[in-house]
């Protein structure tokens, strides 16, 4: 690339912000961190230490990260010459709206403005901006330096060129952006997750399985399946040579009947107490950081295995 | 093992039956195939050829399978001296009931009788048996020689010793059995799958994503996540140091509100036509066997990667 290094301003040093910082540094971008916490440099240093081992293959040496990293606690100065701005503050609509109004005034007109929100659309977020056309949602999954998907969400006011730039930016950072064809509350993946959680809570409440057994059931069957092929391809193959057409013609009406049997559990105090007690039983003997390390090690291993398998398929 | 080789009678040579046959042979069991199809030996030979490459590490050489394999088209003779009987006929309750009545009469009293049904409980299946106490459901996932989970389901009439033997048998075949604490229609994993499918169909109908985009969203985010940690552990980690308790206290009420927003799509003709057309676009350029091979290669690669990662965790 003859292009000058891009300056990416990352706002916020929570879990998502820290993951983005590590990832962008790994891909050789100049990262400017905007946080009002005086201990931000220390938080970022520890975050990088925890995460750098799970960056994708081929990313840069963590030894070089210091030279790419800077801190600017003043928002206006932090975005004044940024090429890309990535917002990761808490899910508070008024907080985000006020922030984007200030960014809109202080950032270069051609800057790409991204929000990691999991909740709000660009139209929700940009109401106080003079020009919200460069604001795009890029919703990552925790941890964003490991999980490839970024859901890209545009609003009515969003410029199509900004969407294309967002896609290119996340690809440059080794991610897999998927552009939603229209905005919907909670976007796609979290809605699917919510549907599965609802039935999971139902099965716990009904005493069919415990929290730990439910987790094992998922990792040992549908989790493995969905890491390798999506739900529709799984059903397509479930139909044999006849594919999804065959599968739907055999099960079509039964599917709707099955949906009617799904649970509608209340999230009442008793349910919450049961879930917490069973989670304590299941995970209470391991620390947060040990569990996070194990998760990231496994996810990185799976991603590498899938990459190798894709290479084999190409070669075959 | 000083123990004599066990004879396992596998009834049915559909996809599930063929997977079991290959797996049991891989683990060195004597397999007797019961099928009325005259071409059964040829079907089984081709099934083994397709599947043997995806057996777990450490299983036997396919060259030895012939010496372990026999065919007996007569049901009574096929089960007369079997140690374990595994039924895999179509999901037709009357067909299965009649079959188990005959098995009950012809099999040794101490034989373990297993059904691969994804629908019926042992109490449903055993109504015509003089003694249904040795009948246990062991519900596998397609393909059963790759996906580890087997859901074990007992009924009112089931002997606890038979459940323990079923668990031991599937473990001997390298599977991960999970015993449901009580029977429920469609068991656990397929109910979760059904919940996710329902919302997937909703997102397609609403025009948020296509079939292909939905598949990509799942494999690149929650599929990867759920192959490595279950849904509850994922939310436990989403709560940071405070765990599931923290996560539920932040999101508890919002969860129930989110559930109310989930779709309730009809599986009408228009929906089915849309799904089929989009599936044709997504997968139409690849044959069934190429897609199956790719799936099994990827799943096997993921399983090996997870095993290696678990080894690292133990060592750490």
Residues of chain A contacting residue B182, judged by C-beta atoms under 8 Å apart: 206-208
Helix (H) or strand (E) holding B197: helix B189-205
Inform me whether the pLDDT recorded for B1 exceeds 50: no
Inform me whether the pLDDT recorded for B254 exceeds 90: no
> Percent of chain B at pLDDT above 90?
89
| Residue pair B8/B40 in contact by the 8 Å Cβ criterion | no
| Residue pair B176/A220 in contact by the 8 Å Cβ criterion | yes
Closest by Cβ to A215, choosing from B232, B259, B298: B232
Domains, chain B: 7-179 (3.40.50.720), 191-285 (1.10.1040.10)
Q: Are strands A149-153 and A135-139 parallel, antiparallel or unpaired?
A: antiparallel
Gap between the Cα atoms of A97 and B144, Å rounded: 51
Gap between the Cα atoms of A283 and A289, Å rounded: 12
CA distance B111 to chain A (A): 27
CA distance B63 to chain A (A): 24
Dihedral angle of Cα A124, B221, A236, B25, to the nearest 10 degrees? -160
In sequence order, the 6+-apart residues with CB closer than 8 A to the CB of B243 are A279, A283, A288, B236, B237
In this complex, do B226 and A214 lie within 8 Å of one another by their Cβ atoms?
no
Which pLDDT band holds residue B5 (cuts at 50, 70, 90)? confident
Q: What is the pTM of this model?
A: 0.95
In this complex, do B189 and A222 lie within 8 Å of one another by their Cβ atoms?
yes
In sequence order, what DSSP letters do the residues of chain A get, joined into one string?
--SPPPEEEEE--SHHHHHHHHHHHHTT-EEEEE---TTHHHHHHHHHHHHGGGSPTTPPPGGGHHHHEEE--SHHHHHTT-SEEEE---S-HHHHHHHHHHHHHHS-TT-EEEE--SS--HHHHTTT-S-GGGEEEEE--SSTTT--EEEEE--TT--HHHHHHHHHHHHHTT-EEEE-SS--TTTTHHHHHHHHHHHHHHHHHTTSS-HHHHHHHHIIIIIHHHHHS-HHHHHHHHTGGGHHHHHHHHHHHHHHHHHHHS------HHHHHHHHHHHHHHHTTS-HHHHHHHHHHHHHHHHHHHHHHHHHHHH-
In this complex, do B194 and A255 lie within 8 Å of one another by their Cβ atoms?
yes
B82-138: pLDDT as tens digits: 999 999 999 999 999 999 999 999 999 999 999 999 999 999 999 999 999 999 999
> What is the widest separation between alpha-carbon atoms in chain B?
62
Chain B, nearest residue to A291 by Cα: B237
Tokens at residue A299, please? 């996810």
Give the count of beta carbons closer than 10 Å to the beta carbon of residue B179: 16
CA distance B155 to chain A (A): 13
Which pLDDT band holds residue B314 (cuts at 50, 70, 90)? confident
pLDDT of residue A4: 61
Tokens at residue A39, please? 């201990």
Gap between the Cα atoms of A107 and A109, Å rounded: 6
pLDDT of residue A316: 66
**DSSP type of residue B181:** S
A295: closest CA among B299, B251, B312? B312
pLDDT of residue A1: 40
pLDDT of residue A312: 80
B52-65: pLDDT as tens digits: 999 998 898 999 99
Chain B, nearest residue to A296 by Cα: B228
Closest by Cβ to A200, choosing from B231, B243, B297: B231
Which pLDDT band holds residue B240 (cuts at 50, 70, 90)? confident
**DSSP type of residue B229:** S
Which pLDDT band holds residue B316 (cuts at 50, 70, 90)? low
Gap between the Cα atoms of B152 and B154, Å rounded: 7
Chain A, nearest residue to B242 by Cα: A288
Tokens at residue B88, please? 């895999």
pLDDT of residue A115: 98
Residues of chain B contacting residue A191, judged by C-beta atoms under 8 Å apart: 199, 202-203, 258, 261-262
In this complex, do B218 and A196 lie within 8 Å of one another by their Cβ atoms?
no
Residues of chain A contacting residue B206, judged by C-beta atoms under 8 Å apart: 182, 184
How do the residues of chain B divide into helix, strand and coil, expressed in percent and rounded to 5?
55, 10, 30
In this complex, do A208 and B148 lie within 8 Å of one another by their Cβ atoms?
no
In sequence order, the 6+-apart residues with CB closer than 8 A to the CB of B312 are A297
- Spans of chain A, pLDDT less than 70: 1-4, 316
pLDDT of residue A251: 77
B226: closest CA among A50, A186, A147, A138? A147
B173-223: pLDDT as tens digits: 999 999 999 999 999 999 999 999 999 999 999 999 999 999 999 999 999
Say whether B2 sits in a helix, a strand or coil: coil
Say whether B13 sits in a helix, a strand or coil: coil
Pick among A148, A232, A312 to test the B interface (most B CBs inside 10 A): A232
Residues of chain A contacting residue B211, judged by C-beta atoms under 8 Å apart: 232
ipTM of the predicted structure? 0.96
**Displacement of CA B60 from its chain's centroid (Å):** 22
A141-163: pLDDT as tens digits: 999 999 999 999 999 999 999 99
Gap between the Cα atoms of A70 and A108, Å rounded: 19
């Amino acid at each position: 690339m003859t292009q000058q290094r891009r300056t990416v301003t990352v706002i916020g040093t929570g879990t998502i912000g820290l993951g983005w910082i590590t990832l962008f540094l790994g891909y050789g971008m100049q990262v400017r961190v905007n946080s009002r916490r005086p201990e931000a440099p220390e938080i970022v240093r520890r975050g990088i230490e925890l995460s750098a081992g799970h960056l994708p293959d081929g990313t840069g040496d963590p030894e070089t990260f210091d030279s790419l990293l800077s801190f600017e606690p003043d928002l206006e100065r932090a975005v004044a010459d940024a090429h890309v701005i990535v917002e990761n503050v808490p899910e508070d609509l008024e907080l985000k709206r006020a922030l984007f109004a200030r960014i809109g005034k202080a950032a270069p007109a051609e800057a790409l403005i991204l929000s990691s929100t999991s909740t709000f659309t660009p139209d929700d977020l940009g109401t106080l901006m003079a020009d919200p056309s460069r604001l795009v949602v890029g919703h990552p999954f925790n941890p964003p330096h490991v999980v490839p998907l970024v859901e890209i969400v545009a609003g009515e006011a969003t410029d199509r060129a900004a969407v294309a730039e967002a896609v290119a930016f996340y690809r440059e950072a080794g991610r897999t952006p998927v552009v939603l064809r229209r905005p919907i509350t909670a976007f796609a993946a979290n809605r699917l997750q919510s549907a599965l959680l609802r039935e999971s809570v139902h099965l716990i409440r009904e005493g069919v399985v415990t929290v730990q057994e439910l987790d094992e059931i998922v990792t040992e069957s549908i989790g493995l399946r969905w890491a390798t092929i999506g739900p529709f391809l799984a059903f397509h193959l479930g139909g044999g040579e006849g594919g999804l057409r065959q599968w739907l013609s055999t099960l079509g009406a039964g599917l709707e009947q099955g949906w009617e049997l799904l649970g509608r559990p209340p999230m009442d105090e008793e349910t919450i107490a049961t879930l917490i007690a069973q989670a304590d039983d299941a995970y209470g003997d391991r620390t947060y950081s040990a569990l996070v390390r194990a998760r990231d090690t496994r996810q990185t291993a799976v991603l590498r295995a899938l990459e190798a398998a894709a290479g084999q398929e190409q070669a075959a």
